[in-house]
Amino acid sequence: MSKQERKQSLITEIEEQLKEIRDVDILLENILTGARKIVNADAGSIYEYDSKENKLWIRYSQNDTMQNQLAPGEKLSYTSFYLVPTNQSISGYCVLSKKLVNIPDVYNLPDFVDEEKKEVRLFEFNSANDEKTGYHTKSMLTIPLIMTNGKVLGILQIINAKDEDGNVIPFDKDSEFYISQFAAKVGSIYEYAYLTRLNVDRLVKTAGFRDPKETGAHVERVSRFSLEIYDRYASNKKIPEKERNKFRDNLRLAARCHDVGKVAIPDEILKKQGILDEDERDIMKGHTCVGAQIFTPVENDLDIMARDVCLHHHDRWDGGNKGYPGNFDYMDYIPATKMPHEIEQALKEDRIPLAARIVSLADVYDALRHKRCYKAEWSVEDTFNEICEQRGHQFDPELVDAFMQIKDRLEDINNAIS
């Protein structure tokens, strides 16, 4: 098999794997991984473009050199920032022109000739991240990810191509060809995942209009926390990569839907300023059953996980009576009525679906760290102490262990999303 045939086979293989992914963020992460694999690049980033605000948001970064310096299960520091695209920045020009940009050495930037506009451009490279991390960026290949209607969804930026001996080299014309081909193929896959996320977010937004406490930022944080907790848990448990990837793809979307059942809670309860009384709490508990009803009948694995998360993210690991709804038949529940106090049998331990146990922990962490109408924001120390105290009671002990291993990363995410 020739080199070209091997590359084409690899692109097709990666494309087929990407088609199975539903969530935009998981897809972006895997697009970046796939692109780097195709051209043997050491590092890279992927950005999402918000055309309404004209901002490029970094979504994922990868760096093999720096990752290899970390202990197993650890991740690179969480970064979250945006930039406004301009024709002077490499990524900005890529978005605005919808053209590939190939730079052999970012510290010796050549004049870039824009043949279409018959002008020479002077690019700028921001070396702040290199200075902060000690990494040396050299070759860089940047390409837009475009929907079938011509809308730019984001950019793919891969860094430091390597030869067979591990030396950093420029990206050659073959690399440009293969990455262009790959970007064209994944554009439609990205578009499908983008529309899937859009539909999920519309459902979440509907519930959010009803509940002033259920902000988009809360939903996004719980979703991201859940993924980080699962990643560390899966690493600790040595869960196979294929199983891990499928679970985390569904989890990212299912976690966003954890409270959609609140759409059926009466306004006088949902929007009450202060602590609910016992009868009001019994009606509020019904949001778990309504959420599960929304995802019934189930059509796929995502529906199953979303149903389980909605239904069981308030069940307790120890089966205590503060958990709900347990084994109650959620299809028997009538919206806006009180949940029964006596249930046939509480769910406990691993009878509670893993995704629900994860979201339970992520949801409580977020609730404690943020002000609500009935409570003040808890401090970092008090929050982590409370979660540790609930290890083996409210929460799965192994998940709490994973949670505590990544507490700094969780706080970085918490501070970045408001």
Q: Which tens digit of pLDDT belongs to each residue from 195-234?
A: 888 888 898 888 888 776 667 889 999 999 999 999 999 9
* Residue 258: strand, helix, or coil: coil
Q: How far apart are CA 387 and CA 320, in angstroms?
A: 16
Of the segments 73-77, 136-140, 194-198, which one has the largest average pLDDT value?
A: 136-140
| Confidence at residue 342, expressed as pLDDT on a 0 to 100 scale | 64
CA distance 347 to 268: 30
Q: Using the predicted structure, report yes or no on whether residue 140 has a pLDDT greater than 90.
A: yes
Helix, strand, or coil (residue 116): coil
216 and 208 Cβ atoms separated by less than 8 Å: yes
pLDDT at residue 117, rounded to an integer: 58
Q: What is the pLDDT of residue 375?
A: 81
Q: Is the pLDDT of residue 93 over 80?
A: yes
CA distance 301 to 306: 9
Nearest to 140 by CA among 124, 151, 164: 124
Whether the predicted pLDDT of 308 surpasses 60:
yes
Write down the pLDDT at residue 114: 59
With a cut of 90, say whether residue 381 has pLDDT above it: yes
The predicted pLDDT at position 405 comes to: 97
Under the banding of pLDDT at 50, 70 and 90, the label for residue 371 is: confident
In this predicted structure, what is the pLDDT of residue 54? 93
Q: Is the pLDDT of residue 408 over 80?
A: yes
Instruction: Please name the residue that has the structure tokens 């097709």.
Output: 12
Asked whether the predicted pLDDT for residue 186 surpasses 60, the reply is yes
pTM: 0.88
Q: Is pLDDT of 190 > 90?
A: no
Torsion of CA 113, 149, 248, 246, to 10 degrees: -110
Mean pLDDT of 21-29: 90
How does pLDDT run across 27-74, given as a tens digit for each residue? 999 999 999 999 999 999 999 999 889 999 998 999 999 999 999 889
- What is the rounded average pLDDT for all residues in the chain? 91
> Residue 55 burial by CB count (10 A; 0-12/13-18/19+): exposed, middle or buried?
middle
Question: Residue 323 has what DSSP assignment?
Answer: S
pLDDT above 90: residue 142: yes
pLDDT of residue 213: 65
Q: Tell me, what DSSP letter sits at residue 410?
A: H
- Output b/e per residue, 200-211; b: 16+ Cβ within 10 A: bbebbeebbebb
| Percentage of the residues of the chain whose pLDDT score is greater than 70 | 95
Asked if 83 and 415 count as a contact pair (C-beta separation under 8 A), the reply is no
Confidence of residue 169 (pLDDT cuts 50, 70, 90): very high
Average pLDDT over residues 286-303: 96
